[in-house]
Amino acid sequence: MRETIERHARIVLQFSGGKDSLATLHLCRKWWDRILVVWVNTGDAFPETIEQMARIKAMVPHFFEARSDQPAHIAKHGWPSDVVSVEASTFGRLVRGTSGPTLQGYPACCGANIWAPMQAAVAAAGATLVIRGVKKADARRGEEGPGAEIDGLEFLLPVWDWSDMEVLDYLCGQGVALPDHYRHTKTSLDCRHCTAYLDENAEKMRWMSMMHPELSGEVQRRLKAIRHAVMTDVSHLTKAIL
């Protein structure tokens, strides 16, 4: 890490507030005075995340809050979903004139509200090194492995080879408190109204029903509407299979 960090003058650490980026932040503690910590506030962050970011901002010398407007994006392009039928897409709703929720694939939503603003912040900082808390074992990750260089940007991934348990052990050993929701979930919180990533968000939904019952009611309403939209297409598919 030292050799890589010392080769660069402008460095961004991409911070989500999850355990992996928290471990990465603390692994880089020696170089905090040379690192810009960037978090993307989508406009739909949990209050717990806002509070965590205020603490991080007070702790590190350089912190930048990039912003997007996920509520406006979702109002225009639809709720993010793991499954999107053409009928329920903006195209489908326009062409067929059907009613029901408009859906978009979650990569489009995360792309517009998290990935693009983060990329813009990295570019605006003139960074040549990006530090990320991504692991080889993660179910979802970019193609960039350790030491990757893309368009003049080098990637440093300090916890790449770590397991979840090693990350938790490291944080515990360093006396770093985990966000409280990790007592109930294994993932970071992301957006309050997210209706995607359901392969890993069932525990988050249960946590929300305890901690934020009103919000949970609205998200559950959306999930049921998504299920109805998807099941309509699944029934058409089922009928067509002989």
Q: Catalog residues that contact ligand SF4 under the rule CB under 6 A.
A: 42, 70, 80, 106, 109-110, 113-114, 190-191, 194, 196
To ligand SF4, the closest distance from the beta carbon of 15 in angstroms equals 15
H/E element, 220: helix 213-240
Residues 18, 15, 146, CA angle at the centre, nearest 5°? 95
* Pick 70 or 102: Cβ nearer ligand SF4: 70
CB of 229 to ligand SF4, least distance (A): 17
Our CA angle for 65, 68, 104, nearest 5°, is 140
Backbone angles phi, psi at 82, to 5 degrees: -75, -25
**Shorter beta-carbon distance to ligand SF4: residue 70 or 85:** 70
Minimal distance in Å, beta carbon 126 to ligand SF4? 26
Q: Which residues lie closer than 8 Å to 220 by C-beta, 6 or more apart? A: 205, 209
Nearer to ligand SF4, 13 or 191 (CB): 191
Angle (nearest 5°) at CA 128 between 123 and 134 = 90
Q: Judged by CB, which is closer to ligand SF4: 12, or 110?
A: 110
Question: C-beta of 193: minimal distance to ligand SF4 in Å?
Answer: 6
The pair of structure tokens assigned to 225 is 């509407």
